[in-house]
Amino acid sequence: MNQTHHAPKAMILLGCPEVPVQTSLAIYLTDLLDKSGAHVRIAGNNAALELVKTADPAGHYIRDTADLDATIGALAQKDEDADICYVFIHNDSGVSYLATASALVSGECVGIIFGKSTQALGQQCDELGLTNILAKAVHNPRPLKSKIKSEVERWAASMK
C-alpha cells in the first residue's frame, strides 16, 4: 500500500506586539518547528506580522502568514486546522485566544506566556485546563528559549 505523508501543520498565533520578546521568540519557534518538518503558518494582527516579516526580510523563516481574525474564522468554519497551535500570551486577550484555539483546533494547543504578569496568566490558563509554558520574559527571550525548545521537541517526538 502506498501512503502519502504530509508535513504536520503548525500554527502560531500572535497578539498585539507590546512586549519586545514576542517577535524574536516567534521567529525562534518557527525555526524549531520548520526543522522538525512542520509547515508553519503565523497568524497575527498587522503590526505583529509586519514585525516578524521585517525581522526576516529574505523569508528564511517566515513563509506563510495570515490575519489573526480571518484565521480564527477559518478555524471556526473548519476551513483551517493544525496539528499543533502555539498562542503567544502576555495579557488576558491572549488567554481568550488560547481558549478559542483549543476549542477549534483538532490538534494540540499550547500557550506561551511571557511578560510581566506570567503567574496570573498562567493561573487563568490552569483554571481553564489550558496547556501552557511560561517565563517572566519582557526584553530578554532567554528565560523562554529552553522551555520552547523542550516543548517543540516533545511535540515532534509525539508526531513520530
Whether pLDDT at 1 is above 70: no
Q: CB neighbours (10 Å) of residue 121?
A: 23
Query: How confident is the model over 144-151, as a mean pLDDT?
Result: 96
Exposure letters 43-53 (e unless 16+ CB within 10 A, then b) = bbeeebbebbe
Tell me the pLDDT tens digit for each residue of 47-83.
999 999 999 999 999 999 999 999 999 999 999 999 9
Tell me the pLDDT tens digit for each residue of 74-132.
999 999 999 999 999 999 999 999 999 999 999 999 999 999 999 999 999 999 999 99
Domain range list for the chain: 9-158
Beta bridge partners of 110: 86
Please name the residues in contact with 146: beta carbons below 8 A apart, sequence gap of 6 or more. none
- The answer to whether the beta carbons of residues 88 and 15 sit under 8 Å apart is yes
Q: Which CATH architecture has domain 9-158?
A: 3-Layer(aba) Sandwich (3.40)
The reported pTM is 0.95
